[in-house]
């Protein structure tokens, strides 16, 4: 591995990095298990008030009006389906990760989040258009493609903020490597 990269990695304090909440990790594992039932998913989602409210809000959006007002979490999980639940879960986990970046770097965070979310939607759309078997994996990959920038912002707030402030997007990657 490159000496400069090793030097940066050595300076990263992994205890400083935000952790994905246990409920979201449990859901990601449940989605990967073929034996997981809707009841299992409902029990996991019910453990997190914030995630439950996001799922309920999605199910009661105008897109799902045909089902009437949905208040029962188990019914909501069935109506939304696995793909939508995966998207809500992955987006929520990523938002929580992004949300742990200090407010002083909010302007950088908004740009990174917007680009990550746009990339996620494009990746899923492209996956569907090309017949890729797991569009949700493409979505997650797009969502996390700027994770390195979050790590740099979290671990090197002054240095990386200065780099982002002083240079345009097209030279950032070159400067990051330097």
Q: How would you write the pLDDT of the chain (178 residues) with one tens digit per residue?
A: 577 667 777 776 665 555 566 787 788 788 888 899 989 998 988 888 888 888 888 877 777 666 666 678 888 888 888 888 888 877 777 777 666 667 777 778 778 888 888 998 899 899 999 999 888 778 888 888 887 887 787 777 888 888 888 877 777 777 777 7
Closest CA to 136 of 120, 151, 149: 120
Instruction: Please say whether the beta carbons of 109 and 69 come within 8 A.
Output: no
What pLDDT is attached to residue 122?
Answer: 94
**pTM metric for this prediction:** 0.59
Beta-carbon count within 10 A of 108 CB: 19
Q: Please, what is the Cα angle at 56 between 51 and 60, to 5 degrees?
A: 150
User: Cα dihedral angle (145, 84, 94, 47), rounded to 10 degrees?
Assistant: -150
Instruction: Quote the CA–CA distance of 159 and 178 in Å, as a whole number.
Output: 13
Phi, psi of 62, rounded to the nearest 5 degrees: -60, -25
């Amino acid at each position: 591995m490159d000496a400069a990269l090793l030097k940066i990695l050595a300076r990263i304090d992994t205890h400083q990095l935000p952790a994905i909440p246990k409920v979201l990790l449990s859901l990601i594992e449940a989605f990967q298990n073929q034996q997981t039932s809707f009841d299992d998913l409902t029990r996991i989602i019910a453990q997190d008030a914030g995630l439950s409210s996001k799922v309920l809000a999605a199910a009661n959006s105008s897109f799902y009006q045909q089902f009437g007002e949905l208040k029962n979490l188990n019914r909501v999980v069935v109506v939304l389906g696995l793909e939508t639940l995966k998207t809500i879960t992955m987006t929520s986990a990523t938002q929580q990760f992004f949300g742990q970046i200090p407010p002083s770097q909010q302007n950088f965070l908004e740009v990174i989040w917007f680009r990550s979310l746009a990339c996620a939607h494009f990746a899923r759309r492209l996956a569907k258009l090309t017949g890729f078997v797991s569009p949700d994996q493409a979505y997650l990959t797009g969502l996390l493609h700027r994770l390195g920038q979050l790590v740099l912002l979290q671990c090197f707030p002054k240095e990386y903020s200065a780099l982002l402030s002083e240079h345009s997007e097209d030279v950032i990657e070159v400067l990051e490597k330097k």
